Structure 1
Amino acid sequence: MNLSEPILQYATQQPNKVALSDGHESRTYSALVRRMKQIAQGLHQNGLDQDKIAIISTNRIEFVEVFLGAIYAGCVPIPMDPKWSAKEINTIVEQCQPKMIFTENAFAKNIFLQDREIPFITFSTENAGSYDKWVAPLMPESEMETNELLFIGFTSGTTGTPKGYLRTHVSWMNSFEATSEAFQLNNMEHVLAPGPFVHSLSLFAIMQSLYRGATFHISKDFNAKNVLQLCKQIPDMIVFVVPTMIESLMKEVISPETQIQALISSGGKWTEASKNKCKEVFDSAKLYEFYGSSEASYISYLDIKEENRPNSVGRPFQSVEVSIRDEQFQEVATGSIGQLYIRSDMIFKGYYQLPEKTKAAFRDGWLIIGDFIYMDQDGYLHMAGRSNNMMVTGGLNVFPEEVESVLQQIPEIEEVMVLGVSDIYWGEQVTAIVKWKGQQRLSTEDIKTYCRKHLAGYKAPKQIITVDQFIYTSSGKIARQVMKDYTKRVMI
């Protein structure tokens, strides 16, 4: 199976329908398929056969063309984050050894090749680039080649160095089917995902849009006013976002001008206060939150308007088997916290060139998610915390996510991250990094008093660090490791 097959069919069935639009130029399905075949032909002429192709680019039509052209040729595209440092980019290039690199002029200067030559194709910016000249003479004669792998992606690196994960065609096509069934997206005509294409949420949205024969609208970067304006011009839009984007949209929206069909959120914790406000602001839209990962695809989902389940990450998708187990790999009772394991036909193939980490990610055929979860009597999952974030204070386990969910209810707090700071007495001291909404600051004792109404006393923060701004990954999540390093520096 090949993800490009339905796109070929749409080029025949609806050749003049717009597949991609960035507001300035567009590609119909027939034009997109022609360009896809031209790129495949160019790769073959350069001797590439099931080789790796790097793409280092911002959001643009050419990104999608190259991605599709590579998979049509049987090659494996590797989207790389242009916001990475030059060191990170070169580390990944050396690790993956791509045979060709497609990039923008601004990023080409950050790539330093060691003892080898790789052809560079640069996207045109103000008529300075080789891409159009490279593609134009090519004839779209290539036949579709097969490759089990769809692409190699990289985790967002919220807690450390990004890892390459291997995705297959079949796993993503199964994920498309799961999405359509769960979110009831029967009228998928216009899709928008204003996050970076290099991250799986937006890349998945693009491919699902094309897989369904819809029009995908490209945003160069996220701008709440521009997103709302586009949704006003094109009613019934399906929008894939992260919670931080939803907050920005709600600050800018002028109801009832924007008629959005569905807002689908993932990639971070969506607070209950934000959900309740969103139900009022986007009262006519479907609102969904899903829980998943780059390795697992979809795990569970929640219909925000139809299911009143505070602090739940929803019910498992129909095709996902869930098991919650203790340290002895025994299933825990309903309502008890354990580590989450899943089985589905949507999970990844493994980590690139990391056989030990791949082996460690599975146990007896189950994918280890790395999250601690409990399931209620009605089959809804509730997050306790991530295993790699867990703190041990006074010999007791504390999940920062649990404490954060309580602190987020305090009106004076705009954003918060909880972590453990090394302490001689406690082992780790529960610490909260806080961005305040206004001028009012609560004392540590005020915070402790509030927390003790909802949490065991040992889980309450023992110190507060105030920041003006959090640092985020390019996928919109708090960069936890960067913030931890910052905390260590300010406490020295």
Structure 2
Amino acid sequence: MNLSDQLSMTAKNHLRKTAYIFQDDEKTYQELEGAVTKFASSLQNLGYGKGDHIGLVVGNTPHFVIGLYGALRAGVTVIPINPIYTADEISYIVNNGDVKGIITLDVLLEKFEKMDKMLPKVEHYITGETSPDFAVKNSPLGAKLKPFTQLVLEGSLELDRPVLNDDDAAVILYTSGTTGKPKGAILTHKNLYSNAKDVADYLHISTEDKVLAALPMFHVFCLTVALNAPLMNGGTVLIMPKFSPDTVFKVMKQYELTVFAGVPTMYNYLLQYPNGNAADLESIRLCISGGAAMPEALLKNFEKKFNVVISEGYGLSEASPVTCFNPLDRPRKVGSIGPSIVNVENKVVDELGEEVPIGEVGELVVRGPNVMKGYYKLPEESAAALKDGWLYTGDMAKMDEDGYFYIVDRKKDLILVGGYNVYPREVEEVLYSNPKLAEVAVIGTPDPNTGEAVQAFVVLKENEQATQEELLAFCSERLAKYKVPKKMEFLEELPKNTTGKILRRSLKEIIKK
């Protein structure tokens, strides 16, 4: 089974059920299934099939859903790309990923017109219309340009479906590349299907659920949890073009949404938004947090204000992504990412790959049907990440006696102060407990005496004031001396990527300046 076949099965059982809502326009599973098949047919007519790669450079729109499932149905491997990437970033992924065609939007067309010479392998730009005024006749791309809507309209419902094997590449996700160039994680049809099914079943997602897709769909968290999993079980996806606290509260109440998935930064924005109240979230049965560790103070304050429970999970692109999640049928543990989900194994190991005792910190490793095939055209990096069937995540973690895991920090973010280990998250948790602070990030900086020193970056809440001395004293009361930041820098906002994850590497660049 794969995502494309599963959509056909879901549509057969729920023809008139709403599959997605976009800007108040509702489409049924029957309509989505038809659009996907027709788009796949048109791709085949353009010469696309198994072995070809297509770039999906669109925001949160129906074009993403139809483009993804249509390409998969035609046997084409999809490479989702962040549409706000620069020309250099996009061209690297497109060229490295051997992309034959690009699905994009009219509002991004000018960018690709300027980039076309940088993309010698690209044969077509399939352009989705966001405006009725869209016209292609004057584009320098000429015959390379194909209107998305026209391909859907002209496609056939009689499709010669290719045989899709479990091990065939379905999606290549380029990781954000905290060091060096991004790497393309090859996710197979089995990887994506198994994780979507296991997540949907684990979270009890049903036809009654309405899930808000406010995270970027090109990111694996949204792709699996807020898109593939709901479509697996006949749920409805509300596609939000761009995250906005005001719009989130509005649509939650308007459509009586039942599931919200977000990163901690999004929860922080919702908490700080002055007009949000518990009544807006009355229909929500499940709040999911992932992508980064949720500060305990933020979790408790959000739950108290909105009368909901936030369940944390964990995942990474290379695992499609979910490996752990706090269960819904057992007690949730604050600060934990939960136990392993069904069909997936996690364990904590030392430098030699041996499992460490309960409560001790080591590297989290995972195996299961969701783990990637490898990195595209990078055999050495693949061998370093995949050892003896286990994926080495690069995250430091510990496990308790009940099998619940706790992320301590990224292995590469560990700060060594005079030989002592300092995990940034521990310091951040202390600072987040200060009622004057809205956002916090901690990194290590070079120090001539101790090797590294702890540096904190903080954002004050609106109308609050604090001094460096005051915050350092606050930390000194709650942390061992070597864990206390040596310096505290005040910013108006922390740098983040499009999913809201704080960019520590950008903070290090601030120091260099």
TM-score of the two chains, using structure 1 as the length reference: 0.93
How big is each residue's C-alpha offset from its partner over 1:329-350, in whole Å with a ceiling of 9 and x where there is no partner? 3322221111222222222221
The 2-side partners of 1:222 and 1:53 are apart by 26
2:144 aligns with none
Q: Is the 8 A contact 2:296 2:334 kept in 1?
A: yes
The 1-side partners of 2:85 and 2:508 are apart by 19
Counterpart of 2:296, as a letter, is E
The 1-side partners of 2:14 and 2:405 are apart by 41
Alpha-carbon offset, residue 161 of structure 1: 4.0
Counterpart of 1:227, as a letter, is V
How big is each residue's C-alpha offset from its partner over 1:244-296, in whole Å with a ceiling of 9 and x where there is no partner? 2222333342232432121111112212122222322332x453110111112
Residue 121 (structure 2) pairs with residue 121 (structure 1): no
The 1-side partners of 2:399 and 2:441 are apart by 25
Match of 2:204 among 171, 184, 189: 184
1:34 aligns with 34
Counterpart of 2:187, as a letter, is R
1:149 aligns with 169
Alpha-carbon offset, residue 138 of structure 1: 2.4
Alpha-carbon offset, residue 206 of structure 1: 1.0
Write the mapping of 1:59-138 to structure 2, written as runs, cut at 5 A: 59-111=60-112, 112=115, 113-114=117-118, 115-127=120-132, 128=134, 130-138=147-155
The 2-side partners of 1:486 and 1:443 are apart by 18
Alpha-carbon offset, residue 85 of structure 1: 0.9
Match of 2:482 among 444, 458, 469: 458
The 2-side partners of 1:338 and 1:116 are apart by 43
Q: Secondary structure at the match of 1:30?
A: helix
CA separation of 1:264 and 1:379: change in aligned 2, threshold 3 A: same
Alpha-carbon offset, residue 316 of structure 1: 2.2
Structure 1 stretches lacking a partner, 5+ long:
none
TM-score of the two chains, using structure 2 as the length reference: 0.89
The 2-side partners of 1:426 and 1:108 are apart by 52
Q: Is the 8 A contact 1:191 1:238 kept in 2?
A: yes
The 2-side partners of 1:423 and 1:435 are apart by 24
The 2-side partners of 1:280 and 1:407 are apart by 20
Q: Is the 8 A contact 1:287 1:303 kept in 2?
A: no
Residue 333 (structure 2) pairs with residue 313 (structure 1): no
CA separation of 1:160 and 1:188: change in aligned 2, threshold 3 A: farther
Alpha-carbon offset, residue 222 of structure 1: 0.8
The 2-side partners of 1:272 and 1:286 are apart by 13
2:140 aligns with none
Write the mapping of 1:374-413 to structure 2, written as runs, cut at 5 A: 374-413=398-437
Alpha-carbon offset, residue 89 of structure 1: 0.6
Residue 25 (structure 2) pairs with residue 25 (structure 1): yes
2:467 aligns with 442
Q: Is the 8 A contact 1:324 1:340 kept in 2?
A: yes
CA separation of 1:407 and 1:306: change in aligned 2, threshold 3 A: farther
1:206 aligns with 227
CA separation of 1:452 and 1:14: change in aligned 2, threshold 3 A: same
The 2-side partners of 1:459 and 1:189 are apart by 44
2:138 aligns with none
The 2-side partners of 1:456 and 1:87 are apart by 44
Alpha-carbon offset, residue 413 of structure 1: 2.0
Q: Secondary structure at the match of 1:101?
A: strand
Q: Is the 8 A contact 1:242 1:266 kept in 2?
A: yes
2:512 aligns with 488
CA separation of 1:395 and 1:239: change in aligned 2, threshold 3 A: same
Counterpart of 1:203, as a letter, is L
The 1-side partners of 2:187 and 2:387 are apart by 19
Residue 314 (structure 2) pairs with residue 291 (structure 1): yes
2:365 aligns with 341
2:12 aligns with 12
Q: Secondary structure at the match of 1:201?
A: helix
Q: Secondary structure at the match of 1:316?
A: coil
Alpha-carbon offset, residue 311 of structure 1: 2.5
Residue 251 (structure 2) pairs with residue 230 (structure 1): yes
The 2-side partners of 1:473 and 1:331 are apart by 33
Q: Is the 8 A contact 1:188 1:238 kept in 2?
A: no
Counterpart of 2:310, as a letter, is L
Q: Is the 8 A contact 2:206 2:230 kept in 1?
A: no
Q: Secondary structure at the match of 2:314?
A: strand
1:164 aligns with 184
The 2-side partners of 1:168 and 1:425 are apart by 49
Q: Is the 8 A contact 1:159 1:479 kept in 2?
A: no
CA separation of 1:255 and 1:171: change in aligned 2, threshold 3 A: same
Q: Secondary structure at the match of 1:195?
A: coil
Aligned residues: 487
The 2-side partners of 1:300 and 1:396 are apart by 29
1:47 aligns with 47
Match of 2:276 among 253, 258, 261: 253
How big is each residue's C-alpha offset from its partner over 1:277-325, in whole Å with a ceiling of 9 and x where there is no partner? 2322332x45311011111222222259963634322222233322222
